[in-house]
Amino acid sequence: MASVLGVYAKVVRAQIRSQTQYRLSFAFEVFGSVIINGLDLATVFVLFSVAGSLGGFAGPEVFLIAALSAFAFSAADLVVGNADKLRDYVRTGLFDTLLLRPLSALWQLLAVNFAPRRAGRAIQGGIIYAIALVVADIGWDVPRIVLAVVAPIAGAVFFGSLFVAGATVAFWWVESGEVANAFTYGGNDFTLYPSTMFGDWFRTVFGSVLGFSFVAYLPTLALIGRSDPLGTPDWLRWCSPVTALIAAVVARAFWRLGVRHYRSTGS
Amino acid sequence: MPRAPWALMVAGFRRYATYRQATVAGIFTNSVFGFLRCYVLLAVAAGGTVAGYSGPQLATYVWLGQGMLAVVNSWTMLDLAERVRSGDIVADLLRPMDPLWTYLWTDLGRAGFSLLTRFSVPMVVGAVAFGLYLPTHAVTYVLTAVSIVLAVIVGFACRYLVGLTAFWLLDIRGVSMFWSFASGAGSGLYFPLAILPDWLTAVLWWGTPFPSLLQAPLDVAVERGGDGHAVLVIGGQAAWAVALLFACRIVQARAVARLVVQGG
Amino acid sequence: MIISADGLRKDFTVSRKAGRFRRERHVVSAVDGVDLRVEAGELLGYIGPNGAGKSTTLKMLTGVLTPSAGTVRVCGLEPVASRTTLARRIGVVFGQRSQLWWDLPLAESFELLRHIYRVPAGDHATRLARCTSLLGLDEFARTPVRQLSLGQRMRGELTAALLHGPEVLFLDEPTIGLDVLSKQAVRTFLAELDARGDTTVVLTTHDLADIEKLCKRLVVIDHGRVVHDGGLDELHARYGSRRTLVADLDAPWPEGLVVPGASVVSVENRRVTLELDGVAAGEVIAALAKAVPLVDLSVREPQIEDVIARLYRGER
C-alpha cells in the first residue's frame, strides 16, 4: 500500500515539475485562483450587506456556512478537480494508455492531471474557515470539535464523489461536461447559502434528495446549536460523514460501470 | 451581405449546431443556475428592491443573464491560442482575409446559434417558473437586441486579445483564468453592479469593458434609467467595441512580426 | 504457448441515420472468429488492410477491450480480468498514442515508469543502457518529449515499453510516419530483440519492408478473419508468386518463341521479361541461351507487395 502511494506521489511530483515549466503563466494561475476563490465568498458578503441577514441567519452564521462550503469545495477541487479531463482522454483514445499500466485508471487520471495551482485556494479556504469558526462564537464541546474537523473532510469527499460521477458520464456521452457542471458548480453555489433561501421543490431536490444541505448548512446548524427552521430532525444535522460515505460508494460503483462500458464498446 | 463574411457566419452557426449534446447540456446548466441565482437574489430582496431593481426586474436580470452567457461566451477561449501553440496559425495568416475578421464572423455565427437555443429556452423556463419583468416600451426590445450584438463583439475582441498573448506566453492558462474571473465579476454575472460602492461602479463602467458584456444589455432590457440611459449605455458599448477591435489589430501586427512557431 | 486465442470475436453496434429522425442500428464484426497461437520468443507479423481488425485484436490481447466471444490467454492470464497483473508482464506501443509525459524530458519519463512498474534499479539501468546504445538515445534524452521528432519519440516509446522487461511486446504500427533512418533503427533494434529470444513480439504493420526484414511468421487478417498463418515463403507459394527473369538481347525477340518452363510477360525493344513457372532458373537460362543471343540477365524474387495486394483484393 505504501509503495503504491509512493508511486502516485512520484507521478504527482512529476506533474508539478512539468507545470511549473511555464513559470510566468503558473504564477498568474496561482494568483488567479486565489482571487477566484475569494469571489464566491465576496458575493455572499455583498449580498448579505444589502439585506443585513440572509435566509434568516445573521452575519457570523452566514460566514460559517459559506466558509465551510468554500473550503470543502476547494479541497475537493485540488485532489479530484481534474477528473473532467476524462472527456479528453476518452475522445482521443488516450484512456487506453491508462489501462495499459499496472495501476488504477482513476488514480492515474487524477495524479497525471494534478493541478498544483489549486493548492493556493485550498489553503486559503482552510484559513478562512478557521477564522469563521472563531467568529461564530460556538459553544465548544467534544462532539462539536470533532464535527468542526470532520465536516470539511466530509464535504470534500462529497464534492469529490460528485466530480468523479460527473466525469464518468463521459464514458457514455463524451460531450457531457456541462450537465455535470450544473450539479458540481451549481451544487457549490447552493451550499454557500443557508438552504432556507431557496424555494420548496428546488430545495428538496438539491438539499435533501441530492444531499447538498449536508455539506455546510446542517453541520453549521449543529455547530452553532440551532435547529433547522425547515424542520429537519436535530440528529440529522450531524450526519454529513454518512452522506459523504454514501456518495463515495455510489461514485466508485458508477466509475466501475463506466470503465466496464468503455472496455466493452471501445473508443 | 458580402459573401465571405456571410459564409463564415453560416459556417460558425453550423459548426455549433452539430454539438447537440453540449447544447442540451448547456441549456440544462443555465436553467439550474437560473434557479439558484434567482432564489438568492429574491431572498435578498425579500419583497422589496435591491439597488433599485424590483423583484421581477431581478428575475429578468438573472434569466436574461443566464440566457446571454452562451451567446456572449466570454468564458470559452477561442481556438486562437491553441493554433498559435501548435503552429497552425501560419495557415490562418496566409489567407487573404485577416484572421481577426474570419474569427469574428465565425463567432457571430456561433452567437446566432446560441441565441436560438441557449438563450430562448432558459428565458422560457424562467418566465414560467418566476414572473419576469417585461419591457413597457417597444423600442426597448430593439435597443436590447442592439446591445446584445455589441456585447458579443466586445466579448469577442477581448477573447481575441487574450488569445493573442499566446504569441508571447505560449501557455495562456493563467491569463485566461484571470480574464474569466475579471469578466465574470465585472460584468454583473454574480450580482448587479449597482450594489457596489459608486466609485467602484464608475471605475468598472468607464474604465473596463466588462460591464458591456452583460450588465449593459441587462440594464437596457429592464429599462433601468429610461431610454436616455439606454442610449448612453449602448454608446459606451460601441465605443469599447471599436477601441478593442483596433487594439486587436495593433497587437496582432506586433505578434506576427515577432512570430516564433513552436512545435516544429 | 504464451498467447492463445480461440474464436476471438468483437462486435460493435453501429448506428446510422436512416432518414430524418430514425436511426438504423446494425452489428459490425470487427473481429470475426480469430484463432491465434504464439510461442514464447516468436516475432509475429500481424498484417491486414485498414479496418481489418488488427488494432481491435491487439486491444483484446492487452485487456483494453472486452471480447464479445471466444477465449484469450496471454502469459497464462485473462487480459480483461487480470489487467493490472498482466500489465506488468507486457509492453505496448501504440503508434498514435504516447505513453510518455509530454512536457518532461525523456529521461524523466523513464524514471517515472521505473517507479510505476517497480523495476529494480539495476535491471532498469542495464536495459536502459542497452536501448540507449542501440537506439542512439543519448542525443535527445534530456529533451522534453513534445519537442522530439516522430522518429525520436518512437525510439523513446520502444525503450519505455521494454524497461520493465516484459515477456511480450505488442507493437501497433510502430514505423508509421517515420523517416527512413528511424525505420532502419527500429527494425535493427527489433531484429536484435528477436535474436536474443527472451521477448515475444507481436507486430502489426502496414509497411511491407518491416515484414520482409523481420517476420518469419505472418498472420494476415482481412474483414476480421485470418486468411493466412505461416511463413513468408508459404505465402509466396500459396499465392503463386513467381520469380521473374529479365534478359537483355543482342537481337529482337523472335515472334512466337516459346521457352519451356517460362511465360513471356513483356517485350520492350531488346529487353524481355519472363515469368518462371516454378522450374529452376538454370534450365530456363540454358534454353534461352540456345535460342537467342543473350547480353545480360537478372533474376527478380517475388515482391511481397504483389502478394499482399492480391491478398487484399481477395484473389487466389
pLDDT in tens, A93-125: 889 888 998 888 888 888 877 777 778 788 888
The yes-or-no verdict on residue B210 having pLDDT over 70 is yes
Chain B residue closest in CA terms to C149? B264
Check if A115 contacts C (Cβ < 8 Å).
no
Å between B260 CA and nearest CA of chain C: 14
Helix (H) or strand (E) holding C217: strand C217-222
pLDDT digits (tens, 9 = 90+) for A130-161: 999 988 888 888 989 999 999 999 999 999 99
Å between C51 CA and nearest CA of chain B: 26
Among the listed residues C113, C66, C102, C92, the one whose alpha carbon sits nearest the alpha carbon of residue A88: C102
How far the first Cα of chain C sits from its last, in Å, is 31
DSSP letter for B241, please. H
Question: DSSP characters for C29-85?
Answer: EEEEEEEEEE-TT-EEEEE-STTSSHHHHHHHHHTSS--SEEEEEETTB-TTTTHHH
Higher pLDDT, B22 or C120: C120
Question: A178–B185: do the CB atoms touch at under 8 Å?
Answer: no
Among the listed residues B195, B145, B152, the one whose alpha carbon sits nearest the alpha carbon of residue B41: B195
The pLDDT assigned to B263 comes to 39
The yes-or-no verdict on residue C259 having pLDDT over 90 is no
Q: Please give the ipTM for the structure prediction.
A: 0.82
Task: Return d(Cα A34, Cα A2) in angstroms, integer.
Answer: 32
**What average pLDDT does range B51-78 have in this prediction?**
86
Chain B residue closest in CA terms to A28? B174
The sign one gets for the Cα dihedral B222, B227, B229, B235 is positive
pLDDT digits (tens, 9 = 90+) for A237-252: 888 999 999 999 999 9
> Using a CB-CB distance cutoff of 8 angstroms, which residues of chain B are in contact with residue A197?
39-40, 43
Check if C146 contacts B (Cβ < 8 Å).
yes
DSSP letter for C172, please. E
**What average pLDDT does range C256-260 have in this prediction?**
81
Question: B263–C149: do the CB atoms touch at under 8 Å?
Answer: no
Å between A100 CA and nearest CA of chain C: 6
> Using a CB-CB distance cutoff of 8 angstroms, which residues of chain B are in contact with residue A173?
21
Least confident segment among A63-67, B90-94, C222-226: B90-94
Count of domains observed in chain C = 1
Question: A17–C115: do the CB atoms touch at under 8 Å?
Answer: no
Question: B40–A197: do the CB atoms touch at under 8 Å?
Answer: yes
Q: Is residue C288 part of a domain?
A: yes
The residue segments making up the domain with residue C274 are 244-300
Task: Provide the grid cell at A176.
Answer: 457531457
Task: Return d(Cα A193, Cα A76) in angstroms, integer.
Answer: 19
> Using a CB-CB distance cutoff of 8 angstroms, which residues of chain C are in contact with residue A92?
97
pLDDT digits (tens, 9 = 90+) for A187-235: 998 999 998 888 888 888 888 888 899 999 999 988 888 888 887 888 8
Question: What are the beta bridge partners of residue C73?
Answer: C4
Residue that the C-alpha cell 517515472 belongs to: C112
Chains that touch C (3 or more CB pairs under 8 A): A, B
Task: Return d(Cα A109, Cα A169) in angstroms, integer.
Answer: 15
Contact call for residues C96 and C37 (beta carbons, < 8 A)? no
> Using a CB-CB distance cutoff of 8 angstroms, which residues of chain C are in contact with residue A93?
96-97
The yes-or-no verdict on residue B260 having pLDDT over 60 is no
Question: C98–A97: do the CB atoms touch at under 8 Å?
Answer: yes
Q: Is residue C260 part of a domain?
A: yes
Question: What are the beta bridge partners of residue C44?
Answer: C202, C217
Task: Provide the grid cell at A90.
Answer: 476518452
Residue C3 three-state SS: strand
Contact call for residues C151 and C178 (beta carbons, < 8 A)? yes
Chain B residue closest in CA terms to C144? B263
Chain C residue closest in CA terms to B86? C146
Residue B176 Cα to chain centre, angstroms? 15
The residue type found at B179 is W
Q: Is residue C10 part of a domain?
A: no
Rounded (10°) angle between helices A59-80 and A23-51: 150
Residue that the C-alpha cell 506488468 belongs to: C88
Q: Label residues B216-255 b or e (16+ Cβ within 10 Å = b).
A: bbbbbbbbbeeeeebeebbebbbebbeebbeebeebbeeb
> Using a CB-CB distance cutoff of 8 angstroms, which residues of chain C are in contact with residue B263?
146
Check if C149 contacts B (Cβ < 8 Å).
yes
User: Which phi and psi angles does C205 have, rounded to 5°?
Assistant: -160, 160
> Using a CB-CB distance cutoff of 8 angstroms, which residues of chain B are in contact with residue A213?
none
Task: Provide the grid cell at A77.
Answer: 477541487
Check if B157 contacts A (Cβ < 8 Å).
no
Mutate to test the interface with B, among A24, A25, A91 (most CBs of B within 10 A): A25
User: Which phi and psi angles does B7 have, rounded to 5°?
Assistant: -60, -40
Residue that the C-alpha cell 447537440 belongs to: B20
Interface of C with A (CB under 8 A): 10, 12, 56, 59, 62-66, 80, 83-85, 87-88, 92, 94, 96-99, 101-104, 108, 112, 115-118, 144
Rounded (10°) angle between helices A142-168 and A119-135: 150
Check if B264 contacts C (Cβ < 8 Å).
yes
The pLDDT assigned to A178 comes to 74
**What average pLDDT does range A251-260 have in this prediction?**
93
The yes-or-no verdict on residue C316 having pLDDT over 50 is no
CA dihedral A239, A193, A185, B29 (to 10 degrees): 110
Task: Return d(Cα C159, Cα C130) in angstroms, integer.
Answer: 9
Task: Return d(Cα C279, Cα C282) in angstroms, integer.
Answer: 8
Among the listed residues A22, C104, A16, the one whose alpha carbon sits nearest the alpha carbon of residue B171: A22
Average pLDDT, chain C: 85
Chain A residue closest in CA terms to B196? A46
Q: Is residue C197 part of a domain?
A: no
Tell the burial category of A215 from Cβ atoms under 10 Å away from its Cβ (0-12, 13-18, 19+). Answer: buried
Mutate to test the interface with A, among B19, B24, B32, B195 (most CBs of A within 10 A): B32
> Using a CB-CB distance cutoff of 8 angstroms, which residues of chain A are in contact with residue C104?
14, 17-18
> Using a CB-CB distance cutoff of 8 angstroms, which residues of chain A are in contact with residue B180?
36
Tell the burial category of A170 from Cβ atoms under 10 Å away from its Cβ (0-12, 13-18, 19+). Answer: buried
Note the helical H segments in B2-98.
3-17, 20-45, 55-72, 80-86, 89-93
Task: Provide the grid cell at A214.
Answer: 449536508
The pLDDT assigned to A92 comes to 84
Chain B residue closest in CA terms to A33? B177
> Using a CB-CB distance cutoff of 8 angstroms, which residues of chain B are in contact with residue A202?
35, 39
Among the listed residues C250, C236, C254, C252, the one whose alpha carbon sits nearest the alpha carbon of residue C300: C236
Q: Which residues contact C139 (CB under 8 A, 6 or more apart)?
A: none
The pLDDT assigned to B88 comes to 80
Tell the burial category of A135 from Cβ atoms under 10 Å away from its Cβ (0-12, 13-18, 19+). Answer: middle
The yes-or-no verdict on residue C19 having pLDDT over 70 is no
> Using a CB-CB distance cutoff of 8 angstroms, which residues of chain A are in contact with residue B197?
none
**What average pLDDT does range A73-86 have in this prediction?**
87
Å between B93 CA and nearest CA of chain C: 23
The yes-or-no verdict on residue C103 having pLDDT over 80 is no
Closest residue to C101, CB basis, from A14, A99, A102 = A14
Chains that touch B (3 or more CB pairs under 8 A): A, C
Q: How many CB pairs under 8 A join B and C?
A: 3
Residue C203 three-state SS: strand
Contact call for residues C79 and C62 (beta carbons, < 8 A)? yes
Residue A127 three-state SS: helix
A56: left (phi over 0), alpha (psi -120 to 50) or beta: left
Task: Provide the grid cell at A220.
Answer: 453549521
CA distances from A213 to A145, A166, A245, B36, C155 (A): 20, 19, 15, 14, 54
DSSP letter for B118, please. I
Among the listed residues C175, C171, C194, C172, the one whose alpha carbon sits nearest the alpha carbon of residue C183: C175
**What average pLDDT does range C124-130 have in this prediction?**
92
Rounded (10°) angle between helices A240-265 and A142-168: 20
Q: Using pLDDT thresholds of 50, 70 and 90, give the confidence band for residue B222.
A: confident
> Using a CB-CB distance cutoff of 8 angstroms, which residues of chain C are in contact with residue A19?
103
Question: Domain residues of chain B, as ranges?
Answer: 3-261
Window B:204-263, CB contacts with C under 8 Å = 263
Task: Return d(Cα C157, Cα C154) in angstroms, integer.
Answer: 5
Closest residue to A266, CB basis, from C12, C101, C108 = C12
Residue that the C-alpha cell 435597443 belongs to: B143
The residue type found at B38 is C
The yes-or-no verdict on residue B110 having pLDDT over 50 is yes
Task: Return d(Cα B44, Cα B61) in angstroms, integer.
Answer: 14
Higher pLDDT, C280 or A176: C280
CA distances from A48 to A144, B199, C67, C259 (A): 26, 20, 59, 104
Task: Return d(Cα B29, Cα A175) in angstroms, integer.
Answer: 13
Question: A18–C102: do the CB atoms touch at under 8 Å?
Answer: yes
The pLDDT assigned to B1 comes to 61
Contact call for residues C98 and C159 (beta carbons, < 8 A)? no
The pLDDT assigned to A257 comes to 93
> Using a CB-CB distance cutoff of 8 angstroms, which residues of chain B are in contact with residue C149?
264
The yes-or-no verdict on residue B262 having pLDDT over 50 is no
Chain B residue closest in CA terms to C147? B263
Percent of chain A with pLDDT over 70: 90
Q: Label residues C44-80 b or e (16+ Cβ within 10 Å = b).
A: bbbbbbeebbbbbbbbbbbbbbbbbebebbbbebebb
Q: Which residues contact B264 (CB under 8 A, 6 or more apart)?
A: B87, C147, C149
Å between B56 CA and nearest CA of chain A: 16
Task: Return d(Cα A147, Cα C293) in angstroms, integer.
Answer: 105
Check if A21 contacts C (Cβ < 8 Å).
yes
